[in-house]
């Protein structure tokens, strides 16, 4: 299991601290609906990996030769130092290519689709980014031990968490010149023309300085977060497949067979000329930029908050107990965790709450059928979750029905 899982409680604590600072200072860097969208994507990215085939694992286990270029001693500090630095170098090129080619950007843009920038944004991860393993093959070919490689990869990801904040303005100059900081990573998440597609390092900003992709954060130009084709949804399924759907549609619509083939490998945002003419896509006008923030009542937002908190607890239990489960139970757990993220996001998008009711009913039916093959602890956890969800939804329906009746009498 990835060491990142063990840091989730620390991540949660730091998010709560940042939220407290945000409320104390009145900076309003947090919106509940946006934070829900980020956390929902983070949860889906973790659980999806349990039920999908890992092409990278197949390559690492069966295609890479057993005899590597060198024999590394995993007890040597130099093995760890080399692997940590080399991993970040490989990450830099993977990350840079993710901003360069359509096929890679389709999986990566999920991380950039939030129009806010706070610690929940760090957890906004993709479930469809399937190409990253390609960039680490050269490192593994050198023979670094797999356990060292995986731990260094986890440490790289953990480091990137803290730089997703607006409350730390600048670090000391030597730090800014060497390592990725909140300031230069804010640049990376910008959609401003000055900042876009810059600062790709994970831990070391040195790679950007060496290869010409560095941009400092400027006092005279505030960062506008998000992507040029705005998502306009908090739904994790929509977020994961928005750009893939666009690429598939463009490949289908174009009359040129050459364009059908090359669209996947063209620079980010490239579209066939005939499709661009017939089906133009409106991009953000940054001079009139307005964040996506559909109006929802406070009770629906509180329901969304309760659901994401419950879902985090459920997900942590699932991740720590999925080992040894048969495929049926893994899929059932994935569905029970994922469905409330979808139906609650519809509510936060201003949609009808009836889908949440259908979800609860369907979940109870699935739970009843799976009960005989579930462990006792799983019955308690999942059953308790469904019971609490049912009570919360009933209360929400009762309160909103009362408000509707009161409005009708006025």
DSSP-derived secondary structure for 345-363 = HHHHTT--THHHHHHHHHH
Q: What is the dihedral of CA 333, 337, 338, 340, to 10 degrees?
A: 140
pLDDT at 66 > cutoff 60:
no
As a whole number, the mean pLDDT across the chain is 90
Give the pLDDT score at 57.
53
> Is residue 409 very low, low, confident or very high in pLDDT (cuts 50, 70, 90)?
low
Give the pLDDT score at 51.
61
Give the pLDDT score at 405.
47
Q: What is the CA radius of gyration of the chain?
A: 23
pLDDT digits (tens, 9 = 90+) for 344-386: 999 999 988 999 999 999 999 999 988 888 888 889 999 999 9
- As a whole number, mean pLDDT of residues 377-406 equals 86
The span from the CA of 318 to the CA of 377, in Å, is: 11
Give the pLDDT score at 191.
96
Percentage of residues of the chain with pLDDT beyond 90 = 73
pTM of the model: 0.91
Q: Are 258 and 165 in contact (CB under 8 A)?
A: no
Classify residue 324 by its DSSP letter: T
C-alpha count within 13 angstroms, C-beta hemisphere, residue 139: 26
> Is residue 239 very low, low, confident or very high in pLDDT (cuts 50, 70, 90)?
very high
- The more confidently predicted of residues 66 and 168 is 168
pLDDT digits (tens, 9 = 90+) for 310-348: 999 999 998 888 777 777 888 888 889 999 999 999 999
pLDDT at 5 > cutoff 90:
no
Tokens at 231, concatenated = 């998502």
Tokens at 182, concatenated = 């909140």
The span from the CA of 311 to the CA of 35, in Å, is: 14
- As a whole number, mean pLDDT of residues 139-156 equals 92
Give the pLDDT score at 59.
55
Bridge partner list, 249: none
Q: Are 157 and 84 in contact (CB under 8 A)?
A: no
Percentage of residues of the chain with pLDDT beyond 70 = 92
């Amino acid at each position: 299991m990835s060491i990142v899982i063990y840091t989730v409680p620390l991540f949660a604590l730091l998010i709560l601290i940042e939220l407290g600072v945000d409320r104390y200072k009145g900076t309003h860097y947090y919106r509940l609906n946006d934070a829900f969208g980020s956390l929902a994507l983070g949860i889906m990215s973790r659980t999806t990996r349990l039920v999908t085939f890992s092409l990278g694992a197949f390559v690492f286990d069966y295609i890479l030769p057993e005899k590597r270029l060198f024999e590394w001693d995993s007890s040597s500090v130099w093995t760890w130092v080399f692997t940590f630095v080399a991993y970040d170098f490989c990450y830099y090129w993977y990350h840079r290519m993710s901003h360069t080619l359509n096929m890679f950007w389709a999986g990566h843009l999920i991380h950039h689709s939030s129009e806010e920038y706070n610690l929940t944004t760090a957890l906004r991860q993709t479930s469809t980014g399937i190409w990253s393993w390609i960039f680490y093959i050269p490192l593994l070919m050198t023979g670094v031990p797999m356990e060292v490689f995986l731990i260094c990869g986890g440490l790289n990801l953990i480091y990137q968490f803290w730089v997703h904040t607006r409350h730390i303005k600048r670090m000391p100059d030597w730090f800014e010149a060497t390592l990725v900081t909140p300031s230069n990573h804010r640049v990376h998440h910008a959609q401003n023309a000055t900042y876009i597609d810059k600062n790709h390092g994970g831990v070391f900003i040195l790679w950007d300085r060496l290869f010409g992709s560095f941009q400092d954060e400027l006092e005279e130009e505030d960062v506008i977060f998000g992507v040029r084709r705005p998502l306009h949804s908090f739904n994790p399924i929509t977020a994961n497949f928005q750009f893939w759907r666009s690429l598939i549609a463009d490949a289908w619509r174009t009359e040129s067979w050459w364009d059908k083939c090359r669209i996947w490998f063209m620079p980010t945002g490239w579209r066939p000329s005939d499709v661009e003419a017939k089906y133009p896509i409106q991009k953000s006008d940054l001079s009139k930029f307005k964040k996506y923030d559909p109006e929802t009542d406070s009770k629906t937002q509180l329901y969304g908050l309760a659901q994401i908190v419950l879902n985090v607890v459920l997900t942590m239990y699932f991740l720590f107990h999925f080992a040894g489960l048969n495929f049926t139970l893994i899929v059932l757990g994935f569905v029970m965790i994922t469905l409330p993220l979808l139906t609650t996001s519809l509510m936060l998008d201003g949609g009808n709450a009836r889908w949440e009711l259908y979800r609860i009913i369907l979940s109870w039916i699935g739970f009843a059928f799976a009960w005989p093959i579930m462990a006792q602890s799983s019955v308690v956890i999942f059953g308790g979750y469904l019971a609490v969800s049912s009570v919360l939804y009933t209360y929400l329906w009762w309160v909103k029905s009362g408000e509707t009746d009161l409005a009708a009498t006025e």
